Amino acid sequence: MQRLSRFLLMAIVLALPLVTQAQQEPDLAARRRLFPEIGAGVLAIRRGPAGQYFILVAPGKFVQVFDAAGKKIGQVPAQAAGAAAIVFGVAMDVDAAGRVFVADRGGNAVNVYGADGALLAHVKVSAPMAVAALSGDEFAVCSLTGNSLIAVYDFQGALLRQFGELAGLVDDPQLDHRLSLGQLLSDAAGNLYFAFDYMPEPTVREYDRFGYLIDDVSLTTPDMQPAAQSARREIARAAQGAVISPHQIISALGVDPAGQDVWIAIGDRLLRVDRNGQEAGGSRTYTEGNVRITPSMILVEPNRLLFASDPLGIYEFPRPDSSAKTP
C-alpha cells in the first residue's frame, strides 16, 4: 500500500469548518527581531554548518555572513571581480560543507563559493530564479526559460537531468514560466521541495534528488477558494491581452532538513505537517509588537523558526510543534 501523502492529510485538516479551524490556529508571536541592520529586501537566509548565518539582500551583490550572535563577520564573494562577481543574485543556498550557491539572474549563472568566499564554480544557466544545494557537487535550479520545473547541474556545468511540469495555467509559454516561479529547498536526504508562488490553489511538490515525485498537493478546500478564484480571474485577463499582476498565494516555504517537517506561509497563516503526515497544525503570525507578519522566507531550526518579512526584517519565532528539540 502506498503511504498516505503528508500533504493529503494537510488538505483533510484544512477542510474542517472555518470556525473550528480558527480555534485550532492560535496566534504565534515573534520573540525578537534578529540582525537589526538587515531590513527590507531579504532574498534568502541560510545557516551554515559552523552555526554562521548567510543572508542575501537585494540587489544581491553580496551574501552577508553573520556569527551566531548576529555580528557581521564577512561576505561572499570575498573578491568580487570577474566571474566571481554577482550581477543580481535572487536566491541562495548553503550546503553541509559551508559552500554558498547563488542564483545570479543578472549574470545568467549559478556561482558556487567555498567557505572562504573564493569562487569554486561558475555555471551558465539562463535566468536562474531559485537554487538548492545537493550532495556530490550537484545543485538544482529553477529558471525562467527551462522546459521543466527543475534542472540539476554539476560544478562543470553539465546538465544532468530535468524534471517537473510547469504550472500549465496559460497557453503563453513566457507567461506560464512566470506563473511557475516559486521557492525551492532541499533537505539532508537530498529531497527537493518546490512551492508555486502563483498557482491559484496552494501547491507544493516534493521530489527525490533523481526527479521522482514523492508528494504533491493542491489545496482546494473551501477556505482556500476565495483567493484561488481571485487569482484565476486575474490570470484569465491575460487571455484577453491584459497586462496582469499575478496574486502571490504561497509567500514562503520552510523545511526541517533532518526531520522533514514542511512549513508553508499563506499570508500571515503558517501551516505545518510532519514527515509522517501527523500533527498538522496552523497559526497566525505576529511580531512582538502585535503587527501581522507575512513571511517571505522561512528558516527552520531545531528549536526555532526565523522569518524574513519585507520590509520588517528578520524575526525569531518559537517552533509550535512537539518535535522541536534544542540542539
pLDDT tens digits, one per residue of 58-87: 999 999 999 999 999 999 998 777 889 999
Query: Average pLDDT of 13-34?
Result: 63
> Does the pLDDT value for residue 190 go beyond 70?
yes
Which residue is listed with cell 478564484?
A: 229
Question: Domain map of the chain by residue range?
Answer: 6-318
Query: Average pLDDT of 123-144?
Result: 97
Percentage with pLDDT > 90 across the chain = 61
pLDDT at 94: 97
Query: Average pLDDT of 222-237?
Result: 87
At 213, the pLDDT band (50, 70, 90 cuts) reads very high
* Beta bridge partner(s), residue 122: 111
Q: In what order do the strands lie in the sheet with 159-163?
A: 128-134, 138-143, 150-154, 159-163
At 172, the pLDDT band (50, 70, 90 cuts) reads confident
> Does the pLDDT value for residue 9 go beyond 80?
no
**CA 227, CA 240: separation in Å to the nearest integer?**
21
The pLDDT tens digits of the residues spanning 157-171 come to: 999 999 999 999 888
3-state secondary structure of 24: helix
DSSP state of 185: E
Percentage with pLDDT > 70 across the chain = 89
- Arithmetic mean of pLDDT over the chain: 87
Q: For the residues of 212-265, what is the DSSP string, one character each?
A: -EEEEEE---GGGHHHHHHHHHHHHGGGGT----PPP---EEEE-TTT--EEEE
Query: Average pLDDT of 2-13?
Result: 44
Q: What is the homologous superfamily of the domain 6-318 according to CATH?
A: TolB, C-terminal domain (2.120.10.30)
**CA 162, CA 151: separation in Å to the nearest integer?**
4
At 174, the pLDDT band (50, 70, 90 cuts) reads confident
At 225, the pLDDT band (50, 70, 90 cuts) reads confident
Query: Average pLDDT of 207-233?
Result: 87
At 216, the pLDDT band (50, 70, 90 cuts) reads confident
pLDDT at 286: 92
Contact status, residue 10 vs residue 280, Cβ threshold 8 Å: yes
Query: Average pLDDT of 120-126?
Result: 97
pLDDT at 17: 39
